[in-house]
């Protein structure tokens, strides 16, 4: 598998180079809304899925190219904290580069003090909160049987006590599941004690794992952002610097990790939409992520 992908254009983080530490869909959750599809089998097994030597070699080779990048991000095909030594990768970034690091995690393993210790090495950490009790936890993210809502939330609280970096919280809006006035109030009451620096509201703008997940209107999304904004000390986002050189391999690699529409791919690579569509169509039969991008055009 490719360890690095991108840089991916992000409204909040600028040009973000993805570092993928686990194989596709290696995750503790089977989220209804995952843009990468269902998780075949959830896991809590922490091990060196990718050798650290291979990670460092890939990073060194990429950095030698001097491509502009704003953030080095642990994310991608699954849950990065399942890699037993993700903290060593964060140390390497701090010691060998001048770039900030971002850990994009579902936060499922933060009950483990070792995971919290290593996560604290990230310049920024992003966790996801879409539920407010055990029942909503089970419904929305379909976790591994060894996980519980209460232990995870207590882990988040313990992490926030000592964490010196920036904490970002993501809320994924699921109409009919977590967007009623009462449900939103309970979720906000959970988020507030964590004192996040930012809160991101997301919705199903790309094909989700389950068809029961519906998108919300843009004006409703803006209302949710306003609703949560009162408990976050929003800081300026990083301005993107540039796009990455286009190739069919780069397009397909990005489609597998960060599905976008053909129009978004065209903007990212500074290529005609017709060319992007042509490539995706040629690979659609053999690459499900190319097919998904076309479906969402």
Tell me: the pLDDT tens digits for 207-242?
555 566 677 777 777 888 888 877 765 443 333 344
Q: How far apart are CA 194 and CA 59, in angstroms?
A: 32
Please, what is the average pLDDT of the chain? 84
Residue 167 has pLDDT above 60, yes or no: yes
Tell me: the pLDDT tens digits for 98-154?
899 999 999 999 999 999 999 999 999 999 999 999 999 999 999 999 999 999 999
Q: Which residues of 1-30 are buried (b: 16+ CB within 10 A; e: fewer)?
A: eebbbbbbbbebbbbbbbbbbbebbbbbbb
Q: How far apart are CA 152 and CA 149, in angstroms?
A: 5
pTM of this structure: 0.76
Q: What percent of the chain has pLDDT over 70?
A: 86
Residue 257 has pLDDT above 90, yes or no: no
End-to-end, the C-alpha distance of the chain in Å comes to 27
More confident position, 203 or 55: 55
More confident position, 282 or 142: 142
Residue 16 has pLDDT above 80, yes or no: yes
Residue 6 binned pLDDT confidence (cut-offs 50, 70, 90) = confident
Residue 297 binned pLDDT confidence (cut-offs 50, 70, 90) = low
More confident position, 216 or 46: 46
Q: Of 264, 282, 260, 285, give the one whose Cα is nearest residue 273.
A: 264
Residue 287 has pLDDT above 80, yes or no: no
Quick one: tokens of 114?
């070792």
pLDDT at 243: 47
Q: Which of 72-76, 170-174, 250-254 has the lowest mean pLDDT?
A: 250-254
Residue 286 has pLDDT above 70, yes or no: yes
Q: How far apart are CA 279 and CA 108, in angstroms?
A: 37
pLDDT at 199: 87
- Region 230-255: mean pLDDT is 58
Residue 74 has pLDDT above 90, yes or no: yes
Residue 158 has pLDDT above 80, yes or no: yes
Tell me: the pLDDT tens digits for 169-210?
998 888 888 888 899 889 988 888 888 888 888 776 655 555
H helices of the chain, in order, are 52-63, 86-96, 113-119, 134-141, 149-162, 181-191, 218-229, 248-257, 262-269, 273-283, 288-295
Quick one: tokens of 64?
């030698």
- Region 22-39: mean pLDDT is 89
Look up tokens 């391999």; give the residue.
249
């Amino acid at each position: 598998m490719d360890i690095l992908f991108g840089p991916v254009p992000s409204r909040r983080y600028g040009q973000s180079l993805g570092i993928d530490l686990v194989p596709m869909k290696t995750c503790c959750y089977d989220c209804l809304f995952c843009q990468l599809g269902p998780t075949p089998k959830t896991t809590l097994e922490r091990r060196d899925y990718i050798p650290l030597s291979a990670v460092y070699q890939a990073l060194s080779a990429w950095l030698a190219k001097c491509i502009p990048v704003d953030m080095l991000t642990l994310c991608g095909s699954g849950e990065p904290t399942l890699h037993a030594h993700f903290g060593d990768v964060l140390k390497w970034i701090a010691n060998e580069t001048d770039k900030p690091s971002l850990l994009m995690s579902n936060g499922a393993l933060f009950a483990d003090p070792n995971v919290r210790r290593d996560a604290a090495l990230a310049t920024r950490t992003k966790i996801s909160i879409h539920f407010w009790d055990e029942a909503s936890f089970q419904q929305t993210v379909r976790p591994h049987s060894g996980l519980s809502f209460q232990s995870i939330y207590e882990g988040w609280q313990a992490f926030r006590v000592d964490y010196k970096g920036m904490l970002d919280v993501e809320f994924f809006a699921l109409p009919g599941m977590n967007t009623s006035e009462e449900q939103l109030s309970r979720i906000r009451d959970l988020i507030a004690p964590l004192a996040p620096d930012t809160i991101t509201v997301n919705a199903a703008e790309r094909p989700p794992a389950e068809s029961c997940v519906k998108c919300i209107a843009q004006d409703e999304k803006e209302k949710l952002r306003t609703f949560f904004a009162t408990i976050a000390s929003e800081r300026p986002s990083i301005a993107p610097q540039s796009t990455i050189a286009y190739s069919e391999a780069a397009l397909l690699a990005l489609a597998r990790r960060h599905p976008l529409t053909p129009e978004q791919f065209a903007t990212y690579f500074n290529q005609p939409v017709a060319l992007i569509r042509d490539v995706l169509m040629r690979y659609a039969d053999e690459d499900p992520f190319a097919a998904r991008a076309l479906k969402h055009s």
